Chain A
């Protein structure tokens, strides 16, 4: 021991006094602990078994099951979300990984991989895939896509949203969304492509960056805040769309869960801003300077990014409001600037 003996005695006396004065910690009711433990045990067994039971989805089995379901007819609803292999998909390199699924999710498991060539369908649910090239591809309800490759997605039905990342284009290949009416190519962006009118029209809404649509019907490009609708006859209608608000709410529902453990608050706010289209503002400069030093712990379950703020910010002594696409963060009276 390097400490002087008297220091040890003083320290021991102090600890002894505190502990003796406090007594033993109160034991929670044994029945409550037993019930918690039993529930945890059941969950744990399920968790431990899960990898052997479902492991990675098997495209062939899913295809077979989907076929059977279709044959039965009444069983179609079982496959509200499904991934099916296509010929030649077996053994193909993964084109994407399933990040999250909201809604009924038979057949599409978070953590599963989707090989190039596979068809992914949603019915009553929404899903988020992480493309092998890094982009986030969200699928709305009632959508069917074929992941031809990590950079090529064929949209057969419904709508997809692509977020190619905050710093797109750096060495990564632009993602193409192919439709019957043309190919939509991103130039580092966030956008939605939706088939309308029984597939007779395609609408592109751009939230960030720029996209180009080229095809037999028409060629056009759009930038952030613009919307293009291309019809089979070749007509192109242009309009504007706010980059935040209800038009994008399904993409929030489909967003992968927020991982906050170990992140700083400014990282979380940047992610929320990206998902919502909001811009972040602070009530004062000192607060703006301090958010990078506030480290977060825990998790926010499956709360959507905008909802997560209601849980996270009060814990940091902060509050927020949203006005006209601006997320305004302020400090409560008890907030202390980190050292």
Chain B
């Protein structure tokens, strides 16, 4: 079992990518298992739920991104970087087909296909919130997201979460605390400022990562 000290999640991502590029198959498997589902959800939401196209575009994205991973500097989270690549693939796909996306205006819809807030229908509002929560989870380090789901969705006791994470109970509690903070930060960032439209637009541009210099981050 590990102790409480945990490396910076971004350093862990960098280490995972480096191991994979050095030929470690288990790292390749872990990267695929941890990041592809979130990337798929990202693509699916932008492609009007067309799962076949989402698969094709995600497949193209990850295969093309592979040789460029060596130049990924870790400035943005790995999934944010992959989403940026995926967004480019989506744009290029529509460009090649010479037609606009089937979905409504991308800027209004945002990364996760949310309609703008303010719909009178409560059910719709709940669905919107759920998608926002899921997108926020996807942007967290994978073990943070899993820990939060185990704790607050599956209602597992901390002891079992610790076992699943192969950590001591205190270390698992620490992970949960950090995961909650990270979730709140991410969720607040995408929810704040002019409502969902702005937040989602920002998210779709890779703004999920705050920058101390206040510079704006945009993905094409």
Residues of chain A having any CB pair with chain B under 8 Å? 1, 11-12, 14-16, 18-29, 32-33, 35-37, 39-41, 43-44, 47-48, 259-262, 264-265, 293-301, 303, 308, 310-317, 332, 334, 336, 338-339
Contact = CB atoms under 8 A, between A and B. Distances in A.
A298 B219 contact: yes
Contact of B220 (A20, A311, A332, A339): A311
13 contacts: A12-B180, A20-B153, A25-B134, A33-B36, A40-B36, A261-B75, A294-B218, A297-B75, A298-B88, A303-B92, A311-B88, A315-B87, A339-B216
Interface in B96-124: 107-108
Contacts of B62: 36, 39-40, 43
A35 B59 CA distance: 8
A37 B216 CA distance: 33
A295 B217 contact: yes
A337 B51 CA distance: 35
Contact of A37 (B36, B71, B145, B148): B36
Closest 10 CB pairs of A and B: A298-B84, A338-B216, A22-B133, A19-B152, A315-B220, A312-B220, A22-B130, A28-B40, A32-B55, A297-B219
B41 A26 contact: yes
Contacts of A264: 215
Nearest to A318: B218
Given A22-B129, A40-B62, A40-B66, A299 B153 contact: no
A316 B107 CA distance: 10
Interface centre among A14, A47, A297 (most CB of B within 10 A): A297
A44 B66 contact: yes
Nearest to B86: A298
A25 B32 contact: no
Given A33-B37, A40-B59, A48-B21, 16 more contacts: A16-B152, A19-B153, A22-B129, A23-B130, A23-B153, A24-B154, A32-B40, A261-B73, A265-B218, A294-B218, A312-B220, A314-B91, A315-B91, A315-B220, A316-B205, A334-B107
A338 B133 CA distance: 26
B100 to A, nearest CB: 11
A18 B180 contact: no
A136 to B, nearest CB: 19
Contact of B59 (A39, A295, A308, A317): A39
Contact of B51 (A24, A29, A261): A29
Contacts of B55: 32, 35-36
A261 B85 CA distance: 10
A260 B129 contact: no
A2 to B, nearest CB: 12
B14 to A, nearest CB: 14
Given A15-B183, A22-B133, A32-B54, A311 B92 contact: yes
Given A32-B51, A297-B84, A301-B88, A21 B59 contact: no
Contacts of B215: 264, 293-295, 338
Nearest to A33: B36
Question: Binding site of B, secondary structure by majority: helix, strand, loop or mixed?
Answer: helix
A19 B148 contact: yes
Contact of A297 (B59, B80, B126): B80
B157 interface: no
B160 interface: no
A81 B152 CA distance: 59
B219 A315 contact: yes
Nearest to B108: A334
A15 B151 CA distance: 11
B149 interface: yes
B41 A260 contact: no
A47 B66 contact: yes
A28 B44 contact: yes
Contact of B217 (A35, A297, A312, A317): A297
Contacts of A314: 91, 220
Given A25-B138, A25-B149, A296 B201 contact: no
Contacts of A299: 65, 68, 84-85, 88
B212 interface: no
Contacts of B80: 297
Contacts of B7: none
Contacts of A11: 180-181, 184
Nearest to A257: B68
Nearest to B127: A22
Contacts of A317: 107, 201
A319 to B, nearest CB: 12
Contacts of A23: 130, 153
A113 B36 CA distance: 35
